[in-house]
Structure formats: structure tokens, C-alpha cells
């Protein structure tokens, strides 16, 4: 039940994903099939999740893990737990069906009080070593111990402040598990793997499976992968990109990145990110290679892809790639343009199969276009469509409001969302955050669900009772509107009308021509509706 990234698998990509999870299948594809620059590692398969639930980490799986760590030592020259030149690993979840951000990730596993000193000496960068250790301790506290740990933003140039922040979280974790545990790299790794397996049963994972109609007993695989470091120096960074715009479908690289950061910084939405095209100005060679990689992956998957990457000291590493979630409107454009592009093997029938049949039939409408309303703020357009509703400031408040009134119209307003907000997002009409970028948790989940969202509205000042922006006070319960296509936030209700979409009309015409089941559902009134539907 343990597989190296480059091992031989039989069957389709879906078969591989059912065995090693979506992340494991992605890493296998990039390593064995495409030869992309991917850090080595191994995956404990999805089936082991049920074993773990009853037996924990068995002697057999622990022995297999030790063998793989030795293999990584031979490949990379660094040893796990070696104080002179430590190997660090990332421990990540990965179910057979993508559940973005719903389960745990723990980075920099292998750091201890002894190995962090070795990393500082070996790298010649004590600030980097301390920052990595602080990050590990914070993730370990949250994922393994279930502790609340405040987000710390520490100046990487201030070694004393980094040391103080590290000491603070170390004391918190040591009080829970003891200093002996924190000095044993393998024990920490085993605890991290266990926490990732357990996270499939978290409230957030259960809520996401329920919202998506996924099997409740669906397990996760656990991937252990050698670390690469986007937080090393000014020529390092991390990010997520889409090969096409996931909101509009335009054929342009779209994404966020952060310099001197690790992957969780981008998706957590707690810090300001930078548009992906700015990477070309800072590390041009890495950007050009990333653009080539995204084109290769898009042609391999025959679809828009999202790609997680890290740049360490100017060198690109690709951490994951998968078919990307997109808004309904983007899905229409992408389906049409891939079918019409001779470089892709997507025919019209396949294009129709990729879109919601209710959009073809007119039972479900596309994004709405704002006509009027009082604009009070602007953020990033994360997921198109408009939403109007009462302001709720927590997911718990959203759920309570819907339990009291099933017809309640709500807009969830948060500084950022996390997997803990899935239940609130699932009942809201739209999501507004004051932090985060286009690849933040709020943006990714909202696009996948077709939920209007505006993120990174930094001029909004949130408090416990509401928010203030531009001299306007908005209390919880007041009605606001958001336009996820433009990023504008409105006070009160807005007037809106449905947009004509030429890609939808093209697909409807194809459906009629092919006489498919979806085409048969297209009513005459919808197919002849013309400009405004």
C-alpha cells in the first residue's frame, strides 16, 4: 500500500487516482509520464486509511516508510533526522476526488531543535531555518494537536524576532507533547501521517463531501515528499496558477504567487499575493519554464489545469497538477475553445459532456450582470455571478440563520476563509473576504461551487459587529451585494439581468446537431432566446 512516485501503475489515470489519490496520481504523472521537475517521494495509498482507522501505523507500513526515507537519502544526499544535513518532507492528503484544502498538510517535517541548527549551518541562512521551524511547529500544533495558533507575520530579516516567535510556539507544543517527542524526527513524522489520515473524518471534510455528494467512507492517501523551499531567499517563492482564467475561461495564465513564502501562505488567504505575471519580472527564467510546463500539462490532461509550484533559489519545482475547477461561464468557453482547437483531441460530444446540462436546457442561469447599485468597495473578482443578501460574519451565524429560515439570503463576509468555513459557504449566496488572492481558499472553493465571490477587498475594515469602508458603516444583517465578475461590492440590493453568452449558444447548437440527450433537453424558447435570456 506504499508507492514511489515513479513506480509502474496499470490502468487509466482514474484507476491510479483510486489507488494513490488525486495528488499521488498527479505526482506519478509528472514524474514517470512527463519527467517534470518534481521533488521525489512516496504515497501511502487510499486503502490504508481504513487500516489506519483500526490499527494505526502497523509495523509493516513503518518499515516501508523507513525504507523509502533511506531511498530519499541515497537520492538527495540528505538524511531524515540527520543533524548535519537534514532531509525535510511535506506530508499531504489526497483523496481520489479533489477536496481542495479540506484535509491537513504539514510542511517541514523532520525539523527538531537539533536539526534546525544543522539546517541553519548547512544553508548558511539562519533566518530561513528558523522560519521553516516556526511554520512546522504551527502546522503541527493545528493539525496534530488541534490547538489554536495565531497567524504570525514575521520579518524574515529580523532573526531575533524569528527566534522569539519560534520559541513561543515551541513552548506551546512542548507543553502538550513533551520535549522528547519534539526531539524525535521519526515520531513527529508518524504523528503527522496519522493526523492527515484522521483529517478525512474532520467536520470540514464531512461537510465538503456532503455538499459534493461524495461517499462518506471515501479515504485519503498520504503523500510524503521531499521539501523544496520557497521561503529561502528573494529568488524563491511559491504559487498556484491556472493554464486559463478559471473565472472567464480566457486562454491566459492566471494565478497568484508570493516571494519568500511556502505554499500554505498562498491558499490560506491571510497575506497579500501577487499576480502570476509579476513572477516574470522577478525570476524570468522560472516564469518561462512554468509557462511551458502549464502548456505541456494542459495538453496531457486535454483540459485546463491548475498547477502548484515552488521556486527555490531560482529553480522551478512542480508540486501538483490537476484538472482545474472553473466557474460555469468559464467551463462553457473552455469546452468550446478546446473542441475548436486542432491541437486538442476534444470533440463536440466531449465538450458537451463537460458542461452542466441544466445550463444547456436553461434550467440554470449564468452569471448575472449588474446594472445599477451603490458601489462601496472593490476587491478581486474571484468567482463570477452576483449575490445579494444579509451580511453574516461567521459560518456559524450563516448556518443558524438558514436553520431559522431556509429561504434566508446571506453573504458571508470574512477576513479570509479556511476549511472550517465550508459549512457556512455552502449555505451562503456569496462570499466576500478582505484578504487573499485569486487562488485563496475562498476563491477556489467558490469557483468550484459556482458561488459568487469577491476576495482581497482590502479597504474594508472588519470588526465583530460589521464593517466600515470609505466612511460607510455596514452592520451585520444589513443587505449588500457582490459582483464576482467585476469585484465590486454594493450597499443594498442591485438590479440585474442575465447575460447572453455566445459559448452557451454554440454548445446548444452543437447539442441540437448531435441530437444528444443534453440537446434534447434544450427547449425551443431557450435555443431561440437571443440576446437577453
pLDDT of residue 43: 97
Residue pLDDT, tens place only, 332-367: 999 999 999 999 999 999 999 999 888 888 777 765
Three state DSSP letters for 468-491:
EECCEEEECCCEEEEECCCCEEEE
504 and 355 part of one domain: yes
Q: Under a CB-based contact definition with an 8 Å cutoff, are residues 131 and 108 in contact? A: no
Residue 523 has pLDDT above 50, yes or no: no
Question: Which residue has better confidence, 496 or 417?
Answer: 417
Average pLDDT of the segment spanning 258-285: 86
Q: Kindly state whether residue 289 falls inside one of the protein's structural domains.
A: no
Q: Does 528 have pLDDT greater than 50?
A: no
Helices assigned H by DSSP within 78-178: 113-123, 126-143, 159-177
- 327-338 as b/e: b if 16+ CB within 10 A: bbbbbbbbbbbb
- What number of residues does the chain have? 533
Q: What is the sign, positive or negative, of the torsion defined by CA atoms of 189, 194, 196, 202?
A: negative
**CATH number of domain containing 383:** 3.50.30.10
Q: How far apart are CA 385 and CA 368, in angstroms?
A: 5
- Residue labelled with grid coordinates 482514474: 14
Is residue 380 in a domain?
yes
| Total domains, the chain | 2
Looking at the structure, do residues 507 and 463 belong to the same domain, yes or no?
no
Q: What is the spatial distance between Cα 416 and Cα 266, in angstroms, rounded to a whole number? A: 12
Mean pLDDT across 109-127: 96
Contacts of 70 (CB under 8 A, 6+ apart): none
Residue 522 has pLDDT above 70, yes or no: no
Task: Write down the mean pLDDT value for the chain.
Answer: 89
Domain shared by 391 and 466, yes or no:
yes
Task: Tell me which residue has cell 527564467.
Answer: 285
Residue-level pLDDT at 56: 95
pLDDT band, residue 270 (cuts 50/70/90):
low
pLDDT of residue 212: 83
More confident residue, 456 or 212: 456
pLDDT of residue 436: 85
pLDDT band at 323 (very low <50, low <70, confident <90, very high): very high
Residue 359 lies in a domain: yes
Q: 406 in a domain, yes or no?
A: yes
378 and 453 inside one domain: yes
Same domain, 373 and 520: no
Domain that holds residue 336: 328-363+500-527
Residue 171 pLDDT greater than 50, yes or no: yes
**Residue 301: exposed, middle, or buried by beta-carbon count in 10 A (0-12, 13-18, 19+)?**
middle
Query: How far apart, in whole angstroms, are the C-alpha atoms of residue 466 and residue 183?
Result: 45
Assigned domain for 296 exists:
no
| Domain shared by 373 and 481, yes or no | yes
CA torsion angle 89 94 99 101 (round to 10): -10
Same structural domain, 439 and 494: yes
The answer, as to whether pTM is greater than 0.85, is: no
Mean pLDDT for the stretch of residues 283-301: 97
Q: Which pLDDT belongs to residue 518?
A: 42
Which H or E run includes 323?
strand 315-323
Residue 256 exposure: Cα atoms within 13 Å on the Cβ side: 28
Amino acid at each position: 500500500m506504499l508507492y514511489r512516485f515513479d513506480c509502474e501503475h496499470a490502468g487509466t489515470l482514474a484507476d491510479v487516482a483510486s489507488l494513490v489519490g488525486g495528488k499521488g496520481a498527479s505526482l506519478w504523472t509528472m514524474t514517470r509520464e512527463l519527467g517534470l521537475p518534481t521533488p521525489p517521494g512516496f504515497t501511502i495509498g487510499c486503502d490504508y486509511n481504513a487500516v489506519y482507522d483500526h490499527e494505526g501505523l502497523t509495523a509493516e507500513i513503518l518499515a516501508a516508510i523507513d525504507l523509502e526515507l533511506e531511498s530519499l537519502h541515497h537520492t538527495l544526499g540528505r538524511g531524515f533526522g540527520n543533524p548535519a544535513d537534514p532531509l525535510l518532507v511535506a506530508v499531504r492528503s489526497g483523496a481520489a476526488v479533489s477536496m481542495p484544502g479540506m484535509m491537513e498538510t504539514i510542511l517541514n517535517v523532520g525539523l527538531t531543535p537539533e536539526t534546525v541548527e544543522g539546517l541553519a549551518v548547512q544553508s548558511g541562512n539562519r533566518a530561513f531555518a528558523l522560519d521553516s521551524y516556526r511554520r512546522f511547529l504551527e502546522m503541527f500544533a493545528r493539525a496534530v494537536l488541534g490547538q489554536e495558533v495565531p497567524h504570525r507575520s514575521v520579518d524574515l530579516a529580523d532573526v531575533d524576532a524569528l527566534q522569539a516567535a519560534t520559541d513561543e510556539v515551541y513552548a506551546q507544543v512542548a507543553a502538550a507533547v513533551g520535549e522528547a517527542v519534539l526531539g524525535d524526527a521519526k515520531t513527529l513524522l508518524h504523528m503527522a501521517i496519522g493526523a492527515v489520515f484522521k483529517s478525512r473524518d474532520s467536520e470540514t471534510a464531512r461537510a465538503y463531501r456532503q455538499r459534493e455528494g461524495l461517499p462518506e467512507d471515501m479515504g485519503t492517501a498520504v503523500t510524503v515528499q521531499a521539501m523544496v523551499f520557497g521561503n529561502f531567499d528573494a529568488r524563491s517563492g511559491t504559487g498556484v496558477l491556472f493554464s486559463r482564467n478559471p473565472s472567464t475561461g480566457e486562454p491566459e495564465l492566471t494565478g497568484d504567487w508570493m516571494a519568500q513564502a511556502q505554499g500554505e501562505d498562498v491558499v490560506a488567504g491571510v497575506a497579500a499575493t501577487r499576480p502570476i505575471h509579476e513572477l516574470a519580472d522577478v525570476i524570468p527564467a522560472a516564469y518561462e519554464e512554468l509557462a511551458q510546463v502549464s502548456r505541456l500539462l494542459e495538453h496531457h490532461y486535454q483540459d485546463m489545469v491548475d498547477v502548484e509550484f515552488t521556486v527555490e533559489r531560482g529553480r522551478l519545482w512542480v508540486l501538483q497538477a490537476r484538472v482545474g475547477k472553473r466557474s460555469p461561464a468559464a467551463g462553457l468557453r473552455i469546452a468550446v475553445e478546446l473542441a475548436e482547437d486542432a491541437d486538442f483531441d476534444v470533440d463536440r460530444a466531449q465538450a458537451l459532456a463537460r458542461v452542466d446540462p441544466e445550463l444547456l436546457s436553461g434550467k440554470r442561469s449564468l452569471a448575472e450582470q449588474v446594472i445599477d447599485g451603490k458601489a462601496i468597495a472593490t476587491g478581486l473578482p474571484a468567482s463570477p455571478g452576483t449575490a445579494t443578501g444579509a451580511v453574516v460574519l461567521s459560518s456559524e451565524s450563516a448556518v443558524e440563520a438558514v436553520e431559522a429560515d431556509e429561504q434566508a439570503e446571506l453573504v458571508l463576509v470574512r477576513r479570509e476563509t479556511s476549511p472550517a468555513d465550508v459549512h457556512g459557504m455552502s449555505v451562503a449566496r456569496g462570499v466576500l473576504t478582505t484578504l487573499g488572492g485569486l487562488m485563496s481558499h475562498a476563491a477556489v472553493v467558490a469557483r468550484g461551487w459556482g458561488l459568487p465571490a469577491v476576495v482581497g477587498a482590502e479597504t474594508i475594515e472588519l470588526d465583530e459587529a460589521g464593517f466600515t469602508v470609505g466612511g460607510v458603516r455596514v452592520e451585520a444583517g444589513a443587505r449588500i451585494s457582490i459582483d464576482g465578475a467585476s469585484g465590486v461590492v454594493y450597499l443594498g440590493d442591485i438590479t440585474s439581468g442575465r447575460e447572453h453568452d455566445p459559448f452557451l449558444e454554440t454548445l446548444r447548437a452543437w447539442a441540437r446537431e448531435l441530437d444528444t440527450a443534453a440537446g434534447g433537453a434544450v427547449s425551443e424558447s431557450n435555443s431561440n432566446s437571443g440576446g437577453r435570456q
